[in-house]
Structure 1
């Protein structure tokens, strides 16, 4: 199935023009010069925000787009700056790439995000909807593994961004095991970890906030200083009691 890509090139850089011309990846690509209003997520699987010629990435575009859309977001910046990466993730981007962009890598990341985006759109946050899904239960919490929705012990629902959801599922699947920052970063972003890289720590902080995980004695996510993290909750994965076939 052809994926729909929207490139937002507010600075008219045309940096991705070759990606358009040499596009043998099976994408339908549309270029805009600002965020569309209203944002039509049904027609876009992945947004690419091209800030490759700007002095600094326009993170406000990322934040505004994320506030309206669940589609995947890739931000392309001018420099490979760790601070820009962290801010981009905090503002809601799923990926941050810097020049020069490898088109094969960009294509792979688009396809990965597109699959998550379509799954999210096909299964909206409706707890009464029937779906062939699994739910992970831990310490009174529930994580819907298809809708990427976290349910608190009091019933509050939170839609997790892709990177936070993926990190939580990795921790759940490796509960009571020490997961190094290097292993987590490689699993999430397929890149090497450096001592100055705070990406994983930032995502862990966001998960702790959503899990209200601040009490050291009862913490679900335990820090092993200088090494990584251990997810200490006891979990079970059980089928949804009212399964139905997924839409195709």
Structure 2
């Protein structure tokens, strides 16, 4: 049974989400003290976190940053605010998805199921080996990319996208293919979410001098160019 921690101060909404998720046999927890969210997270050790942006004292961005300093657990943001920068900020802090309030519970459940499936079942479907690309070593088991400049750590989403791109190196991988591979059903994700994830991947690869080898093909998709770095 997966444990889900809901960081939401609206008790009515929390209880409604808890009731719906419990029907799907998820073990749902809430936060008792919003001054000590990280402490409760460490005690509960959830498999997934759902977090609102607007919270007492510290906002969801703060707690996302704190959780990410301790764990790679998948995080879904909830927000009643409709500013595009909220989603961008959430993804840049390491969130895996973003749900706008009000939302349909079937959509939230589908996102949760897809995220749990690819986070915890991804490595079970096939044996994953260390690969090389443009002179860098890619370890999907540790979600790392390493070359002579150092090592960067990717999120599950970033590594999933990266693997899809290098599997078809020098070929265009369409945005539709990436979205469907990541989220199983493109109706449950915005196109902007993919853009944020790819940009975040490219920014991390920039630290290794490799960002330019992930090319955007406007109106088509992305290409991972294969070129040995000397």
Bucket of the pairwise TM-score, normalised by the shorter protein: 0.7 to 0.9
CA RMSD of aligned residues (A): 3.7
TM normalised by structure 1 equals: 0.71
CA shift in 2, pair 1:112/1:188, >3 Å: closer
Relative distance call for 1:219 and 1:79 in structure 2 (3 A) is closer
TM-superposed CA distance for 1:215, in Å, is: 7.3
1:66 and 2:60 aligned: no
Question: Is the 2:97–2:193 Cα contact (8 Å) retained in structure 1?
Answer: no
Unaligned ranges ≥5, structure 2:
none
Deviation, structure 1 residue 221 = 1.5
Q: Which residue of 2 aligns with 1:238?
A: none
Larger helix proportion, structure 1 or 2?
2
After superposition, give the CA deviation of every residue in 1:197-239 in whole Å (9 maximum; x if it has no partner).
54444333332332238979x942123244332111279xxxx
List alignment gaps of at least 5 residues for structure 1. 123-131, 236-248
Between the aligned partners of 1:114 and 1:226, the Cα distance in structure 2 is: 30
The total of aligned residue pairs comes to 218
Q: How does 1:64-213 map to 2 (within 5 A)?
A: 64-79=66-81, 81-115=83-117, 118=120, 133-150=128-145, 152-154=146-148, 156-189=150-183, 190-191=185-186, 198-212=192-206
Give deviations 1:129-163, integer Å, cap 9, x for gaps. xxx6412221221222233222x222833321122
Distance in structure 2 (CA, Å) of the matches to 1:105 and 1:63: 25
SS class of match (1:36): helix
Quote the Cα distance in structure 1 between the aligned partners of 2:42 and 2:55: 26
Of residues 209, 216, 226, the one that matches 1:223 is 216
Shift of 1:18: 1.7
Residue pair 2:77, 2:97 contacting (<8 A) in 1 also: yes
Instruction: Write the distance in 2 (CA, Å) between the matches of 1:178 and 1:86.
Output: 25
Residue 48 of structure 2 contacts residue 74 of structure 2 at CA under 8 Å; is this kept in 1?
A: yes
